[in-house]
Structure 1
Amino acid sequence: MASLSFFRRMSLPKMGKLSSKMNASEPNAEERVSTPEKQTVLLLHAPRQPYQLTDNYPVPQVKGDLEVLVKTRAIGLNPIDWKAPDFNFGIPELPYISGRELAGEIVETSGRSSRLKLGDRVLVISTDYRDLRKAAYQEYVVALDYNTVRLPPALSLEKASTLGVAFVAAALALGVCMGVDFSDVLDGPDLYRLLREVASEDLPSDIRKECLDGIRDHERALPGDWLAVWGGSSTSAHLTIQLAKLAGLKTVAVVDKAKHGLRLANHKAIRTDLLVDSHDSRRAVDIIRSNLKGKLRFGIDTRGADSATSLLQALSPGNLTSSSLVPVGAVDGSPPSPPATPDDSMLLSAHLIALTGLPKQPAPEGTVFHTVPIKLFHEVPAIGEALSSWLERLLAEGRICAPEIVDIEQGLESVNKGLDRMRRGEISGGKLVVKVA
């Protein structure tokens, strides 16, 4: 794990910018409000079964200086919460507690190093699915302080519970897989640079190649570059488009225009430069290629292998870097000479990032396939802290907005009902939220 001193040094100046907007008090060595020893949770006992409401389950214990205990108030439901039990994946043990994002209040802190205080309203983003203490489907949840986001007063807990996982996935897809630098957006992170300041052995071995070799420095996405998002109505697309626009990228969204076209066209935060109907995937590819004329090198798919394959067909690899096209003498005033033929190291690859499934075929020449290294958020403190503190600033300054809430269910016992609605495809273009208390 990256050293604590490193990620604290990276983030402390940024945190100071929020002091006037956040509810803060002086920290104690340890703070706790009265919490029960037992709680109510939802347990999964076997695949393809509903979650079971269970009383008298132990309240999870805080360990170490970097953990806090949060009282759950609102839970954002995600597709993984029904797909994992239905298809029997991502379940490391049984019985299992699921749930990846929630909002609530801090009820316990464990050490002097925590930047969080009792009573803080927070968003908890739990990408660590192997630690059941951090799962959302329970009344009390343990969270790492660098995976916890303090909320501005104007943002409701219900709204906050919709955006955590989508934000992390979007920021990592853009910042790591595409190399987008967010330094000019409220002093956001340059994840490409930050990853190279972390010791390579502190990066999980299974994502190290993606983190360090996924994209070359001269290929990084820059303001003015085009990004196509296939499945533009999802919550992950909602955050991806917003962050891409803040970074100066031009965006294409491929969506079911009959269902979502008007909403996207009228929504200032997620209005794209080009909106394409997904009804006929071949025609969608033709529209993108004819409008962008070989300028599309970056694509993010949010739906699955089939749509990722279509998006692959819309990409245009093999362009030259802008620097390689500048004739000698064009800058200093001397007569220009023809540019030299660039070697392969200066060619720009196309980059396809899949959130749910890559094409079944191998990546063609000139194209790189990416999967989002989501575990960076909880396993590398420098990355988790950089993203959490940046999200605090974005929310405090109103620079991004949460996805729309389609409906709110009441109580932990209603989670199964909500997941059934998602299974049936009733939830589209926004999030379903469960209000716990």
Structure 2
Amino acid sequence: MQKTLETNANNAAQFHKRHENISIPQQQSVLLLRAIRQPYELNPNYRVPELQHEHELLVKVSAVGLNPIDWKAPDFNFGIPVLPYISGRELSGTVIQAPSSSSFRIQKGDVVIVPSTDYRDLRKAAFQQYSVAASFNTIRLPKHISVESGSILGVAFVSSALALGICMGVSFEGIEDGPDLLSLVRSIEPDRLPADIRAECLEGIQEDERAQRGDFLVIWGGSSTCAHTMKQIARLAGLKIISVVDSGKHGLRLSNHPSIRPDLIVDSHDPERAVSVIQAATGNSARLGFDTQGKESAAYLLRALQSPDKPDALPADSSKYSSSPKSDLPTPPSTPSDALSIKATRSHLVGLTDLPTTNIPAGSALHNVPIKLFHEIPEIGEALSAWCERLLLKGLLLPPDVVGIVNGLEGINAGLDRLRRREISGGRLVAVLN
């Protein structure tokens, strides 16, 4: 372990030295998606994106983390706002153009992580040699962490922190001066919050329902990259963690990894038994759940969060109980109900990809991660980015494992094919650019 850390530190130091002075060309190479269900196409003569706002930076991309959404979006035609499209949700690299004011946290020459959650702005996409980032969405990378490792941390960190801080109400105030995200977002003028996540931010969880130290958090799909990050943050907040995973495939790795070792591993092979084990182990007291897999597993997790004395399920058409406006997201909004009394014993289930739409118990609230907060509300983006820097610097947050490397933008299609075939688990593939 020590040898690996020393190697990463040496590589990172050499990277910093090589990238101290970088000029800005007019043309760059990008990967373009020209049609749905088609491979990305390399275009070597694409214009370098230009800065449009004072708070923006230009980053020379060094490494790109490959996410499942990078192949699922074009294959299933979602999250593609325009064609041709430049994809890629997270990267690391060097800031080569920055605001002249010294008041900004990020400066020219910094090596940074950029979680590119603003997928509608193609200037910010990762599948290109130069990418634009907002200074409040940029995380300085400490020298002991390689750019490859940094490139796969950002989206998982943002998703985990928002799920815990907004949807479950965890306060990070006692952890390296972390933010109380729920209080922060509720101090913001409601009209500034995007309409499709406003109800989640303002009504998703009540003050007396907020997660407390000692509460159980059940993560279904506990081997994912997002689960890797969430477990670390949740443990810092004092939550007790139950991971539901394929124990034959991931149990030994999770048990031997001190940073992500849960309090209890439950085998997902028999979901019915997994539900029973969770309820028995917690004495039916678990009320916080995070699902990384999809609608079916989320439905099992929702059952695991129910105790026998909770109310029966809502009618099959539970959409009328939602307090949120309809959106174009693939999952339903959170479900606090005017027709139901809200109690401190209510369960809270956060779905990363999808959520059940029928047989929702009345004592439950369903949540989507309000990812837009990160890039549309500067106060939230800055609070999370600066806090992530402090956690990384102190070694309190470790990136997921890099389990494979592809060379350059031209290697990304082959890498995404490996994701399609489910050949990658326990970490992420990274595309390394020259």
TM-score, with structure 2 as normaliser: 0.87
CA distance 1:354–1:116, change in 2 (3 Å) = same
Gaps of 5+ in 1: 1-22, 24-30, 321-342
What letter matches 1:162 in structure 2?
Answer: I
1:325 is aligned to none
Following the alignment from structure 2 to structure 1, what is the Cα–Cα distance between the partners of residues 105 and 342? 44
Match of 2:90 in 1: 101
Counterpart code for 1:241: K
Among 206, 214, 228, which residue is 1:224 paired with? 214
What amino acid is aligned across from residue 36 of structure 1 in structure 2? P
**Alignment partner of 1:34 is 2:31:** no
Q: Measured at CA, do residues 347 and 116 of structure 1 come closer, stay the same or move farther in structure 2, by a change above 3 Å?
A: closer
Find the counterpart in structure 1 of residue 137 from structure 2: 147
Provide the secondary structure at the position in 2 that maps to 1:296: coil
| Contact 2:208 2:344 (8 Å CA) reproduced | no
Report whether the alignment pairs 1:53 with 2:42.
yes
* Deviation digits for residues 112-133 of structure 1 (CA, Å, limit 9, x no counterpart): 2532222111001110000000
Aligned counterpart, 1:279:
269
- Of 376, 385, 389, the residue aligned with 1:388 is 385
**SS at 1:171's partner residue?**
helix
Residue 32 of structure 1 deviates from its aligned partner by: 9.0
Structure-2 change in CA distance of 1:186 and 1:140 (3 Å): same
Contact 1:100 / 1:135 at 8 angstroms: preserved in 2?
yes
C-alpha change, 1:38 and 1:305, in structure 2 (3 Å) is same
For this pair of structures, how many residues does the alignment match?
387
> What secondary structure, in the 3-state scheme, does the structure 2 residue paired with 1:93 have?
coil
Deviation at 1:111, TM superposition (A): 3.9
CA distance in 2, matches of 1:233, 1:347: 30
Residue of structure 2 in register with 1:19 after alignment: none
In 2, the alpha carbon distance for the partners of 1:354 and 1:114 equals 34
CA contact (8 A) 1:318 1:349 kept: no
Separation of aligned partners in 1, 2:271 and 2:81? 36
Instruction: Give the 5 Å matches for 1:1-16.
Output: none
What are the within-5 Å matches in structure 2 for residues 350-369 of structure 1? 350-369=347-366
Q: Distance in 2 between matches of 1:427 and 1:417?
A: 12
Q: Distance in 2 between matches of 1:149 and 1:422?
A: 27
User: Which protein has the larger Cα radius of gyration, Structure 1 or Structure 2?
Assistant: 1
- How far off is 1:347 after superposition? 3.9
Q: Once the 2 structures are TM-superposed, how far is the Cα of residue 110 of structure 1 from its aligned partner?
A: 3.2
In percent, how many aligned pairs have the same letter? 56
Aligned to 2:189: 199
2-structure distance, mates of 1:200, 1:104: 35
Report the 3-state secondary structure (helix = DSSP H, G, I; strand = E; otherwise coil) of the residue aligned with 1:348: coil
Which residue of structure 2 aligns with residue 373 of structure 1? 370
2:230 is the alignment partner of 1:233 = no
- Amino acid of the structure 1 residue aligned with 2:375: H
Measured against aligned partners, the alpha-carbon deviations of 1:231-270 in whole angstroms (never above 9, x if no partner) come to 0000001011111001000000000011100010011111
* Residue of structure 1 equivalent to 2:66: 77
The worse-fitting range, judged by mean Cα deviation, of 186-195 and 354-363 is 354-363
1:258 paired with 2:248, answer: yes
**Worse overlay, 344-353 or 238-247:** 344-353
Question: Which of 422, 427, 433 is the aligned partner of 1:430?
Answer: 427
Please list, as runs of the form range in 1=range in 2, the aligned pairs for 1:293-372 lying within 5 A after superposition.
Answer: 293-316=283-306, 344-372=341-369
User: Would you say the 8 A contact 1:408–1:432 is kept in 2?
Assistant: yes
Note if contact 1:318-1:350 (Cα within 8 Å) is conserved in structure 2. no
Q: Give the match's secondary structure for 2:120.
A: coil
Cα distance in 1 for residues equivalent to 2:55 and 2:245: 41
In the TM superposition, residue 344 of structure 1 has moved relative to its aligned partner by 5.0
Equivalent position amino acid for 2:63 in 1: A
1:268 match: secondary structure: coil
- Does residue 161 (structure 1) correspond to residue 151 (structure 2)? The answer is yes
SS at match of 2:212: coil
2:214 & 2:167 partners in 1: Cα distance? 17
- RMSD of equivalent CA atoms: 1.8
State the AA in 2 paired with 1:201.
Answer: D
- Which residue of the partner structure matches residue 315 of structure 2? none
CA contact under 8 A between 1:229 and 1:237: conserved in structure 2? yes
Q: How far apart in 1 are the matches of 2:79 and 2:258?
A: 36
- Which residue identity lines up with residue 268 of structure 2 in the other structure? S
In the TM superposition, residue 433 of structure 1 has moved relative to its aligned partner by 0.4
CA distance in 2: counterparts of 1:72 and 1:154, whole angstroms: 19
Residue 360 of structure 1: how far off its partner (Å): 3.0
Kept in 2, the 8 Å contact 1:65–1:114? The answer is no
What's the CA shift for 1:76?
0.3
Rounded to whole Å, the distance in 1 between the matches of 2:275 and 2:93 is 43
Q: Retained in 1: the 8 A contact 2:99–2:107?
A: no
Q: Deviations over 1:262-293 (max 9, x none)?
A: 01001111111110000111111111111111
Secondary structure (helix, strand or coil) at the match of 1:392 reads helix
